[in-house]
C-alpha cells in the first residue's frame, strides 16, 4: 500500500498531528509526504520511513501578525495559487498513478482532493476546520470584491465534497455540507514530563511555577515589562532565536519536544490553535488565551476549551497590557470539566488502512 499525505504549511499544528497519524501507519506501508513544511521539522516529528516530495497546495491565510488576518491578500494569494495549480492538475494525477498511490490524505489542502477524484483514487480529509469555511466567513470583509472571490470559495467547497471520507476532529463546527463526515477523537502527541532535565539544562528554578509563552511572531504590543513583576514564575518559549525579554528562557525545540515542555510546565499563555490546544488537553496543562480577529476557527476552539474547563479566555487589553498576572492565577485554579480521549491518531490511521483496502 502507498499513502500520499498532503500537509498544509499554514501553522505547525497540522504538521504535528499529521506526523502523529503517520507514526501510527504500519512501517510495511509506504508513506509519501507532499508539503512545503520545513524538512527538519518533519524529520523531528515523523518516526518511521517516509518519502518527502515538497510542493505547495494551499496558502492558508495571510497574517499581518499572529492575531490578525489580511483578508484581501489572503484571497488574492489563493486565487493565484489555484490558477497556477489548475495548469498542473494533470501532472499531479500522473504522479499519483505513477507512484501507485492507494489513498491520499489531506490536512487540509483542498486541491489534492480534486486530483484524487480525477485519478479515481480514494481520499480522506482530516481536520477540525476547512478552508471553504474559513474563506466563506471572510467574504463579507471584502466589500466590493466579494462577488469576485465568491466563486473561488464555491470551488474550494466542491473540492472538499469530493473526498471519500471526512475525519472531523474535536474543536470544530458541524460540517453538514459533507455527508461523508465522521467524528474522531483528538489527535495529540504522547507527552512526558522532563522538568528536572529542563531545570538543569536551562537553569530554571523548579520551585517556581513555569509558564510557556506561545505567541507566534512576538507581538510588539505585548507588555513584556510586566514579567519583571512576577519573580515567582519562570517564563519559557520554544524557538531557535533570541529571547523577546530577559525573563524568558528559549528552549531548543530540537533538544526538547514541545509537548514535553508543556507537560513539564504549570501554565501555557498563548494563541489558541489546534496544536497547542491538543498539547494542553493531553497534558492537562491550563491554557490562558485571548481572541483572534479574523480567525473563524477561534469560535469552535473557544467553545471546546470552555467545555474542557481548564482554559481561560481574556480580552486583548488584559492579555497584552493589563491584568495578566491575575488572569494567570485564575487559570491555574481551573479544573478539567470534561476529559477528552486523545487516541485520534490511531483511529485515523485505521481509517486510512480501511480506505486503502488494507486488512489488519
Q: Residue 278: which H helix or E strand, with range? A: helix 274-283
| 258 within some domain | yes
One domain for residues 14 and 122: yes
Grid coordinates standing for 358? 488494507
Query: pLDDT tens digits for 215-242?
Result: 876 666 788 899 999 999 999 998 877 8
pLDDT top residue among 107 and 215: 107
One domain for residues 226 and 158: no
One domain for residues 174 and 199: no
One domain for residues 180 and 241: no
Q: What is the pTM of this model?
A: 0.93
One domain for residues 158 and 18: yes
One domain for residues 68 and 146: yes
CA neighbor of 247 nearest in space, from 191, 324, 317, 194: 324
Neighbours of 348 (CB within 10 A): 26
One domain for residues 29 and 88: yes
| 260 within some domain | yes
Query: pLDDT tens digits for 109-163?
Result: 999 999 999 999 999 999 999 999 999 999 999 999 999 999 999 999 999 999 9
Give the per-residue pLDDT at 219: 66
One domain for residues 156 and 270: no
Q: What percent of the chain shows pLDDT beyond 90?
A: 81
One domain for residues 229 and 85: no
Q: Which residue has the cell 472538499?
A: 160
Residues in the chain: 360
Q: Which of 172-176, 220-224, 292-296, 337-341 has the highest mean pLDDT?
A: 337-341
pLDDT top residue among 33 and 175: 33
Rounded to a whole number of angstroms, the distance between the first and last alpha carbons of the chain is 12
Report the C-alpha gap between 78 and 6 in whole angstroms.
17
| 88 within some domain | yes
| 282 within some domain | yes
Q: Is 356 exposed, middle or buried (0-12, 13-18, 19+ CB in 10 A)?
A: buried
| 360 within some domain | no
Report the C-alpha gap between 31 and 37 in whole angstroms.
16
One domain for residues 180 and 79: yes
Query: Range of 230's domain?
Result: 195-332
One domain for residues 100 and 236: no
| 246 within some domain | yes
| 232 within some domain | yes
Give the per-residue pLDDT at 176: 86
Grid coordinates standing for 250? 528559549
User: Which domain CATH number covers 29?
Assistant: 3.40.50.2000
Residues 8/35, Cβ–Cβ less than 8 Å: yes
| 338 within some domain | no
Q: What percent of the chain shows pLDDT beyond 70?
A: 98
> If you average pLDDT over residues 182-197, what whole number do you get?
96
Grid coordinates standing for 220? 510588539
> If you average pLDDT over residues 330-359, what whole number do you get?
97
One domain for residues 117 and 139: yes
Residues 21/352, Cβ–Cβ less than 8 Å: yes
Q: Domain total for the chain?
A: 2
Give the per-residue pLDDT at 11: 80
Amino acid at each position: 500500500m502507498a499513502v500520499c499525505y498532503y500537509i498544509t504549511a499554514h501553522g505547525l499544528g497540522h504538521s504535528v498531528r499529521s506526523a502523529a497519524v503517520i507514526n501510527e501507519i504500519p512501517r510495511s506501508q509506504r508513506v509519501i509526504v507532499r508539503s512545503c513544511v520545513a524538512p527538519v521539522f518533519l524529520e523531528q516529528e515523523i518516526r518511521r520511513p517516509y518519502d518527502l516530495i515538497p510542493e505547495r497546495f494551499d496558502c492558508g491565510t495571510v497574517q499581518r501578525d499572529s492575531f490578525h488576518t489580511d483578508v484581501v491578500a489572503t484571497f488574492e494569494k489563493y486565487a493565484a495559487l489555484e490558477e497556477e495549480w489548475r495548469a498542473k492538475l494533470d501532472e499531479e494525477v500522473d504522479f499519483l498513478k505513477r507512484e501507485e498511490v492507494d489513498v491520499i490524505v489531506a490536512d487540509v489542502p483542498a486541491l489534492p482532493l480534486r486530483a484524487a477524484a480525477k485519478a479515481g483514487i480514494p481520499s480522506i480529509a482530516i481536520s477540525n476546520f476547512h478552508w471553504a469555511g474559513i474563506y466563506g466567513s471572510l467574504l463579507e470583509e471584502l466589500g466590493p470584491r466579494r462577488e469576485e472571490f465568491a466563486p473561488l470559495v464555491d470551488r474550494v467547497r466542491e473540492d472538499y465534497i469530493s473526498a471519500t471520507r471526512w475525519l472531523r476532529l474535536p474543536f470544530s463546527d458541524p460540517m453538514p455540507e459533507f455527508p461523508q463526515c465522521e467524528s474522531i477523537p483528538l489527535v495529540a502527541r504522547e507527552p512526558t514530563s522532563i522538568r528536572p532535565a529542563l531545570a538543569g539544562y536551562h537553569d530554571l528554578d523548579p520551585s517556581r511555577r513555569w509558564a510557556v509563552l506561545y505567541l507566534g511572531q512576538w507581538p510588539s504590543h505585548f507588555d513584556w515589562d510586566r514579567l519583571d513583576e512576577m519573580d515567582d514564575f519562570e517564563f519559557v518559549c520554544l524557538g531557535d532565536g533570541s529571547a523577546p525579554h530577559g525573563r524568558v528562557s528559549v528552549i531548543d525545540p530540537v533538544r526538547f519536544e514541545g509537548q514535553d515542555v508543556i507537560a513539564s510546565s504549570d501554565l501555557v499563555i498563548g494563541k489558541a490553535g489546534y496544536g497547542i490546544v491538543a498539547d494542553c488537553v493531553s497534558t492537562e496543562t491550563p491554557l490562558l488565551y485571548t481572541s483572534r480577529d479574523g480567525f473563524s476557527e477561534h469560535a469552535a476552539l473557544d467553545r471546546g476549551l470552555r467545555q474542557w474547563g481548564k482554559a481561560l479566555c481574556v480580552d486583548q487589553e488584559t492579555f497584552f497590557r493589563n491584568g495578566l498576572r491575575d488572569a494567570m492565577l485564575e487559570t491555574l485554579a481551573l479544573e478539567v470539566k470534561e476529559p477528552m480521549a486523545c487516541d485520534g491518531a490511531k483511529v485515523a490511521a485505521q481509517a486510512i488502512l480501511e480506505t486503502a483496502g488494507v486488512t489488519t
